[in-house]
Amino acid sequence: MTIEFSFTGADIYALAEELFPIHRSITGNGVRRTHDIIRKVIPGLVSHEIPSGTKCFDWTLPDEWNATEAYIADMDGRRVLDIQDNNLHLANYSVAVDDVVTRAGLETHLRSLPDMPDAIPYVTTYFDRTWIFCLTERQKQTLTDDRYRVVVKSTLAPGALTYGELLIPGRLKDEILIHTYTCHPAMGNNETSGMAVTAYLARAIEDMPDRRYSYRIVYAPETIGAVAYISRNLEALRRSVIAGFVMTCVGDDRAWSLLPARRAGCLTERAARYALEKILGVPYTAYSYLDRGSDERQYCAPGINLPVVSIMRSKYGAYPEYHTSLDDMSVLSPAGLWGGFIATYRAIEIIERNETLVTTVLCEPWLSPRGLRMPLKDGKTLDNFSRTVSHLVGYSDGTIDLLALAELTGLPFHDLVLVADSLKDQGLLKPVGETPSPDQLTS
């Protein structure tokens, strides 16, 4: 597997830098601008809008929120806190205000983190119709005047929820889903990284020669966006998705993490584990589905139950800068982002090449005259090639896939794939099951 990629970690980092400062929420123009930037890498990404008020399963889409200006000024008009400096300063879905308030009154609208005096917390107020400013504890200590003017210029009005979708066809209609989310404002690992890595992952998939599977790339706001997306695409998802990944927290270079799907041991999980353990050879924290926290909650929900996992670097909630302004571009690195990309890409390669084979002849085939069996080394031991052949013909009874055979035998998965290809060419192995019918193939 020595595919050359047309980009590097530095390219992913550059995209992340461009995406980082956009002021995003679960609706609004920040999401649209985000899509525009992503289209520089994957021009085929289509933006879809679902009107506010649309019922999506149990949910009703909220009005669209946009904020153009927000600041706190002293009575001399000097802005002491301004969303232009950091878009975390204003809690998403804060209502408009233009008022003079006492310091005591102001304090009920301020959020800071006394234990992290230099961090602005990430706060939303989707359901409380109020306004909230977030700031560092140090900034808060400087607000000693008796009165301040607060200005929030925001609108909350019928509009739309915006999501992006890119379908990349393969030979089969069966799909691999790749989902990331677009609702977080200026934070790096969670979640500029997912948007940036997903864009380049999609590009790498577009560049992948002879794709077996089709790919469904989704950019949507977290939770409500995933719910909305699933509600609009339920039958297609149920019919087609054979594996899936939620791309989140894929940007720093400090850790590796795996969050499995609800149903243990699905193909996506097995491929992800193999990619981390055997292809990348990195240590990782194997989380439980109990530790879930992102959009696998929707894709793996009862009644949906898709095989969707997350391969992460430092997992949400498990690194100190999480959900604060300290999760900035300095947390990301080209190496971290590349790792986030390559781990999922390697898992996808495994899924692409994995198959369940069955022998076409009874007993062992006659290997020697076909050049499939070398003489014993030192009269005792099979060489690796012969051992690979032996295990392929000795185990391929239509119940074990190549990935499981790699796990069982310790033989490298990609060696098994290459030798299996040769045995298929010689007519000694064939995929189990029927040849795909025309309606299983893309046109």
Within 10 angstroms of residue 206's Cβ, the number of other Cβ atoms is: 15
Choose between 51 and 371: whose C-beta lies nearer to its own copies. Answer: 371
DSSP string covering 250-308, please?
---SS--EEE--SSTT-HHHHHHHHIIIIII----EE--GGG--STHHHHTSTTT---E
d(CA 303, CA 354): 27
Choose between 76 and 115: whose C-beta lies nearer to its own copies. Answer: 115
Q: For the CB of residue 361, give the shortest distance to its own copies in the complex, in Å.
A: 4
In this structure, is the dihedral angle defined by the CA atoms of residues 98, 102, 105 and 108, taken in order, positive or negative?
A: positive
Choose between 310 and 344: whose C-beta lies nearer to its own copies. Answer: 310
Q: For the CB of residue 3, give the shortest distance to its own copies in the complex, in Å.
A: 31
Choose between 104 and 362: whose C-beta lies nearer to its own copies. Answer: 362
Q: For the CB of residue 24, give the shortest distance to its own copies in the complex, in Å.
A: 17
Q: Which two tokens stand for residue 139?
A: 């900034």
In this structure, is the dihedral angle defined by the CA atoms of residues 32, 22, 314 and 40, taken in order, positive or negative?
A: positive
d(CA 431, CA 150): 67
Choose between 189 and 344: whose C-beta lies nearer to its own copies. Answer: 189
Q: For the CB of residue 392, give the shortest distance to its own copies in the complex, in Å.
A: 10
The angle, 0 to 180 degrees and rounded to 10, between the axes of the packed helices 384-395 and 402-409 is 120
Q: For the CB of residue 299, give the shortest distance to its own copies in the complex, in Å.
A: 9
Interacting residue ranges for its own copies, rule: CB under 8 A: 57-60, 113, 121-123, 126-127, 223, 226-227, 230-231, 234, 262, 289-290, 292, 297-298, 300-305, 317, 322-324, 358-359, 361-366, 368-369, 376, 378-381, 390-391, 393-398, 408-409, 428
Choose between 105 and 398: whose C-beta lies nearer to its own copies. Answer: 398
Choose between 205 and 218: whose C-beta lies nearer to its own copies. Answer: 218
Choose between 121 and 339: whose C-beta lies nearer to its own copies. Answer: 121
Q: How far is CA 193 from the centre of its chain?
A: 9
71-106 residues labelled b (16+ CB within 10 A) or e (exposed) = bbbeeeeeeebebeebbbbbbbbbbebeeebeeeeb
Half-sphere exposure of 61 (CA within 13 A, CB side): 31
Q: For the CB of residue 397, give the shortest distance to its own copies in the complex, in Å.
A: 3
Half-sphere exposure of 200 (CA within 13 A, CB side): 29
d(CA 182, CA 291): 21
Which of 344, 34, 12, 9 is CA-nearest to residue 208? 344
CB 211 within 8 A of CB 172: no
The angle, 0 to 180 degrees and rounded to 10, between the axes of the packed helices 193-207 and 29-38 is 40
Choose between 179 and 203: whose C-beta lies nearer to its own copies. Answer: 179
